[in-house]
Amino acid sequence: MIQAEKLALEEHIKTKALWKEIFSEDTERYLDYYYKEVAPQNEIYVTRMGEDMVSMLHLNPYSVCMGKKKADVHFIVAVAAKKSYRHQGRMAAMLHRAFYELYEKKEPFTFLTPASEDIYLPFGFRTVSVQETLTVCCREKTDADFRQKLRLRPAEEKDLAEASKFSSDILAGNCMVYADRSLSYMKRCQREQKAMNGGILLFYRGNRLTGYCFSGDEGGPEVWEVILAPEKGSDTALSDWDAAAAEAVGVLSDYFSGRQSFKIKGFLPDTRLPQSKGLNRQVHPASMVRIVNLSAFVERMTAKEHLEFEFLVQDQLIRENNGSFRFVITPNGGRLIRLNRAARQTVTVETVTDLFFGKGKAFPELSGKLNVLCPVCFTELV
* Domain boundaries 293-374, corresponding CATH code: 3.30.1050.10
Q: 61 preceded by cis ω (within 30°)?
A: no
Residue partners of 152: CB distance under 8 A and separation at least 6: 201, 202, 203, 204, 251, 252, 254, 255
CATH T-level topology, domain 5-112: Aminopeptidase (3.40.630)
Q: Hey, do 5-112 and 293-374 end up sharing a CATH topology, with the first three levels equal?
A: no
Residue 153 has pLDDT above 70, yes or no: yes
Does the pTM surpass 0.85? The reply is yes
Answer whether 73's CB lies under 8 Å from 111's CB: yes
Predicted confidence at residue 278, as pLDDT, reads 61
What is the assigned CATH class of domain 133-287? alpha beta
Residue partners of 371: CB distance under 8 A and separation at least 6: 67, 176, 301, 302, 303, 304
Predicted confidence at residue 231, as pLDDT, reads 81
Q: Which of 288, 247, 254 is nearest to 111 (CA)?
A: 288
Answer whether 110's CB lies under 8 Å from 97's CB: no
Domain boundaries, the chain: 5-112, 133-287, 293-374
pLDDT digits (tens, 9 = 90+) for 175-231: 999 999 999 999 999 999 999 999 999 999 999 999 999 999 998 999 999 999 998
pLDDT-derived band at 1, boundaries 50, 70, 90: confident
Rounded to an integer, the average pLDDT of 351-369 is: 93
pLDDT digits (tens, 9 = 90+) for 266-291: 898 988 876 665 677 788 889 999 99
Answer whether 211's CB lies under 8 Å from 202's CB: yes
The CA distance from 151 to 202, in Å, is: 8
pLDDT digits (tens, 9 = 90+) for 287-312: 999 999 999 999 999 999 999 999 99
